[in-house]
Structures are given as C-alpha cells and as structure tokens.
C-alpha cells in the first residue's frame, strides 16, 4: 500500500472562487459556517466572491487557504484515503497540524485568523513583500544578500529556488545583487508582507498568546515543522515552534527530505493551485506527486495500491 503524505500550500496559492465547488457539499458548508462563527470571519465570502486584490491581503488569504486544506482533507478521508504524514508550507503547516488531529477545524481557523491579522498589522500593505530567486543555490543567495539592509532568505524551497523577503527598498537592492550573482530570474510574489523574517517579530509575539489559548494535542501522524525540517514532538511545544516559524525561514526542502526518509512514496497537494507539486521532481525524484484542489479532483484522484 502506498504511504501517502498530504501537503498543504502557503499564501500566494490562493485564487478567487477557490471554495465555490467545495461549499456545494453539505458537510463542508456546515463546517464553513461553524468556523466562520467561531473565528468571526466570513469564510464563505472569501471562498466564493472575494476578488484577487482582497485575497492578496494576509488577513484574508490565510484563513481562506487553511479552510480549503481542511475541507479537502475531509473529502480525502471520505474517499478512504488516509495520510501517513503531512507537511504544510508556511500557513499550510496549520492545515497539516489540523489534518493530523493536533487541533480542530474551528480552532485552526481561529488561530490562522489571528496570525493573519497580526502579520498584517506588523507590516502594512505595500511596505514589504517577497520574491522567488531561481537558478542560484541557497549559499549563493545568502552571499548575495550579505550586507543588504532589509532583505533575508525566507523559504529554502529547493536547491535551485529560494524565496527572499524584506522591505520594498531591501528587495530592490537584493534583486540587483542576485541578478549580478547569476540568478536566472527574481520573481515578485503575490503576497503583502515579508513573512518568515525578523520583521515578523511583533506578529510572532502576538500570535504566541493566541496559540497558548489552544489545547494542542500530539499529532496522530508525523507533521514536519517548517522551523526544523523534522517532525513536531508532542503538543506542548507547538506554540513555541509555530511562533518561531513566523520569524524564521521555511526549510521546505528539509521537510520533504524527512518525509521521504520515513518512507512516504506518494504526495498529494491539497490546495487550489499546483504550488508545491512542481517542486517534487527536484525534491523527491522517483516518487509520485499529484494535486487535488477541488471536490471533483479528489473524486478523480487515482493512487497506486
């Protein structure tokens, strides 16, 4: 039997109408209403009628994306497909923890709403952002950023893709440095703040208070932590790890390596786009990776025996 890992994407993979088909399912619609009520957020509107500009805002994108991951997990289980392990990129790590039973769906949406609001307040829209650097190894990216004020490595995605983040001026200076160092492309991302950098320290401290109000349980299956690239240990340390996650680089390549090491041979990305699947050829050669971003995609999913 294939050992299946669920993967959950982070901010930037949102798109308008991403929950429209999902919410036609009665169980998912009822769960959406409950999560909206408990977290004081209109998930249905964000998932169906919000436009691209509205969804780009951190405080909107994060709960909407997290709910899509939670809903797709419900549908996967209904089909009898259970996860052996999980990982999520940035805010996707919250959906991964929910999928593994570390907290409930309403709890995770409430936590992510607070995370998004704290991050938005820490970095007002237009003051900072992120960019993907293609064609340079992580060490070369680090050397190019050395001495640049206001720019840092934020996501170690693959050996040839590192995401940087920082202030608008910092990213402008860093882009020139990276191009001079031989980067094939430096691509601005559709996000509104510099996640996973020291600029998020005020948001991380505020988030920690919200996370400590949750009764965390030990995940039922291994969930890889962005902070370390290794599995979360128990439930009591999760608030600290997730606080540090917000202000530290995402070690995504290490997360996937850990999943491969534990025997996962099939990966299913549960999100509205193929944001993570494209990296898997480089990160997990010889394994299969597919994406399922809607009710119909889950129904049509074919997994090896």
Cα 224 from Cα 88, distance rounded (Å)? 8
pLDDT, tens only, 35-71: 999 999 999 999 999 999 999 888 999 999 999 999 9
What domains are there in the chain, each with its CATH number?
A: 4-123+198-300 (3.40.366.10), 128-188 (3.30.70.250)
| Catalytic residue ranges | 90, 196
Phi, psi of 126 (to 5 degrees): 95, -10
3-state secondary structure of 240: helix
pLDDT, tens only, 233-273: 989 999 999 999 999 999 999 999 999 999 999 999 999 99
The pLDDT of residue 87 is above 70: yes
The tokens describing 114, both together, are: 């607070």
Nearest CA among 64, 88, 57, 50 for reference residue 232:
88
Average pLDDT, the chain: 95
Q: What is the pTM of this model?
A: 0.95
Mean per-residue pLDDT, 191-197 = 87
The pLDDT of residue 2 is above 70: no
């Amino acid at each position: 039997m294939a050992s299946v890992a669920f993967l959950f994407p982070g901010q930037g993979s949102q798109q308008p109408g991403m929950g429209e088909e999902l919410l036609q399912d009665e169980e998912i619609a009822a769960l959406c209403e409950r999560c909206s009520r408990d977290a004081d957020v209109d998930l249905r509107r964000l998932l169906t009628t919000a436009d691209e500009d509205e969804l780009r805002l951190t405080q909107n994108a994060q709960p909407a994306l997290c709910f899509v991951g939670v809903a797709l997990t419900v549908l996967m289980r209904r089909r009898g497909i259970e996860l052996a392990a999980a990982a999520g990129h940035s805010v996707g790590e919250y959906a991964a923890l929910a999928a593994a039973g570390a907290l409930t769906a309403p709890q995770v949406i409430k936590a992510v709403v607070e995370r998004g609001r704290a991050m938005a307040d820490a970095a007002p829209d237009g003051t900072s952002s992120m960019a993907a650097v293609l064609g340079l190894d992580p060490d070369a990216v680090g050397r190019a950023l050395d001495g640049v004020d206001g720019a840092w490595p934020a996501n170690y995605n693959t050996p040839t893709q590192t995401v940087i983040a920082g202030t608008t001026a910092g990213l402008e200076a860093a882009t020139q440095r990276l191009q001079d160092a031989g980067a094939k492309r430096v691509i601005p991302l559709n996000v509104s703040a510099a996640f996973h950098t020291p600029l998020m320290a005020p948001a991380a401290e505020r988030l920690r208070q919200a996370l400590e109000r949750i009764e965390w349980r030990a995940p039922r299956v291994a969930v890889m932590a962005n902070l370390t690239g290794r599995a979360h240990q128990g439930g009591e340390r999760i608030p600290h790890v997730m606080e540090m996650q917000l202000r530290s680089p995402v070690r995504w390549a290490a997360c996937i390596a850990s999943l491969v090491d534990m025997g996962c041979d099939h990966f299913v990305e549960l999100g509205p786009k193929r944001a993570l699947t494209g990296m898997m050829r480089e990160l997990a050669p010889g394994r299969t990776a597919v994406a399922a971003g809607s009710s119909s995609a889950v129904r049509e999913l074919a997994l090896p025996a």
